[in-house]
Amino acid sequence: MASTAPFAKMNGIGNEIIVADMRGRADRVTPAAALALNAGAATKFDQIMAIHDARTPGTAYFIDILNSDGTGAQACGNGMRCVVQALAAETGQKTFAFETVAGILNAEEHADGLISVDMGKPRFDWQDIPLAEEFRDTRMIELQIGPIDAPVLHSPSVVSMGNPHAIFWVDRDVWSYELDRFGPLLESHPIFPERANITIARVTSPETMVIRTWERGAGLTKACGSAACAAVVAAARTKRTGRSVSLVTPGGGSLHVEWRGDDHVVLTGAAECEFSGSFDPSTGVWARDTESAA
């Protein structure tokens, strides 16, 4: 059996995150461990953010991201905030440069406790999302669900924030759509060869939006940071909003997204630690720290 690694169960405005401390070791959290942790009531999660030693000079850590179905993800904005909060509490440091499979990203904890993550530049080319066939204009692609003559959701904008996102624009209350039914069908639609995160977005003013997301590999979540970024970029591209937008997410939390002039997208919001423990990264067998259980 591998030696155990410390972890913290955290959340980023309701997005359920496990931050695993894999520093100083060569193994990775396995898909089997992810599935086992997700099967437990206390450790059920949307993403595991595994902190590994840096691979590249100029970065502090490499972050490996797993979805609750054991698959990998290239980006997780809410999870990155949890990582920053955990490392800031441990080290007293406030700014960090991380590496993920999608590249290098910078993050910072502010004096008020909110955390900003620079999620990098969005990509719009159909090959980069990726889509299975050419669409010259990804501000709106042909895709619909529901009756052919009266589709319930249609013509999404698609964006890569390192990971693939489709944003469906709606006029009605976001809760009036059966995202639990349509989400899985759209996530695995053949147009998305690497599947996609599916968001419905209702723009409420040039600076505000309400979103709900069906996450690739995790299902319905209380918040999705990279989807918030994708939604704001897509809204600004289609002139639905400006480039600085506050979003309300299903957990009731709020996120702020700014698509800066240098093309970088910055996500700002809170993070919270629930409890800590240790786990076996190969099996997912875990125990709660006695201090935090008191």
Ligand X SMILES: N[C@H](CCC[C@H](N)C(=O)O)C(=O)O
- Kindly state the tokens that stand for 136: 């010259």
The helix (run of H) or strand (run of E) holding residue 265 is strand 265-269
Nearest to 204 by CA among 231, 237, 165, 166: 231
User: Binders of ligand X among 144-183, rule CB under 6 A?
Assistant: 163
Binders of ligand X: how many residues, by CB under 6 A? 20
Q: By CB under 6 A, name the one of 67, 85, 138, 199 that touches ligand X.
A: 67
- Give the integer Cα–Cα distance in Å for 82 and 224: 13
Q: By CB under 6 A, name the one of 10, 11, 14, 15 that touches ligand X.
A: 15
- Count of Cβ atoms closer than 10 Å to residue 252 Cβ: 10
Q: Residue 205 in 3-state DSSP?
A: strand
82 flagged as catalytic: no
Is 288 a known ligand-binding residue? no
User: Which residue, 213 or 241, has its beta carbon nearer to ligand X?
Assistant: 213
User: Which residue, 78 or 138, has its beta carbon nearer to ligand X?
Assistant: 78
Q: By CB under 6 A, name the one of 11, 38, 47, 249 that touches ligand X.
A: 47
Taking a C-beta distance cutoff of 8 angstroms, is the pair 20, 48 a contact?
Answer: yes
C-beta of 209: minimal distance to ligand X in Å?
16
User: Which residue, 224 or 247, has its beta carbon nearer to ligand X?
Assistant: 224
Q: By CB under 6 A, name the one of 52, 216, 222, 240 that touches ligand X.
A: 216
Residues 98-137 vs ligand X: string with x where CB under 6 A? Answer: ----------------------------------------
CA distances from 6 to 2, 225, 278 (A): 13, 25, 4
- Give the integer Cα–Cα distance in Å for 27 and 192: 31
Q: By CB under 6 A, name the one of 43, 116, 160, 197 that touches ligand X.
A: 197
- Give the integer Cα–Cα distance in Å for 120 and 263: 8
- Give the integer Cα–Cα distance in Å for 279 and 285: 6
CA distances from 41 to 30, 59, 235, 284 (A): 19, 34, 36, 13
- Point out which span in 53-61, 108-116, 177-185, 220-228 binds ligand X (CB under 6 A): 220-228
Q: By CB under 6 A, name the one of 14, 20, 37, 46 that touches ligand X.
A: 46
229 flagged as catalytic: no
Question: Which residues have a Cβ under 8 Å from the Cβ of 8 and sit 6 or more positions away?
Answer: 18, 19, 82, 86, 273, 274, 275, 276
Q: Residue 17 in 3-state DSSP?
A: strand
Q: Establish if 218 lies at the interface with ligand X (CB under 6 A).
A: yes
Q: Establish if 215 lies at the interface with ligand X (CB under 6 A).
A: yes
C-beta of 29: minimal distance to ligand X in Å?
15
Could you say which of 82, 224, 229, 273 is catalytic?
224
Q: By CB under 6 A, name the one of 120, 122, 183, 217 that touches ligand X.
A: 217
User: Which residue, 6 or 219, has its beta carbon nearer to ligand X?
Assistant: 219
C-beta of 233: minimal distance to ligand X in Å?
13
Q: Report how far Cα 273 is from the mean position of its chain's Cα atoms.
A: 17
What is the binding site for ligand X (CB under 6 A)?
15, 46-47, 67, 73, 75-79, 163, 197, 215-218, 221, 224-226
Which residues participate in catalysis according to the annotation? 76, 224
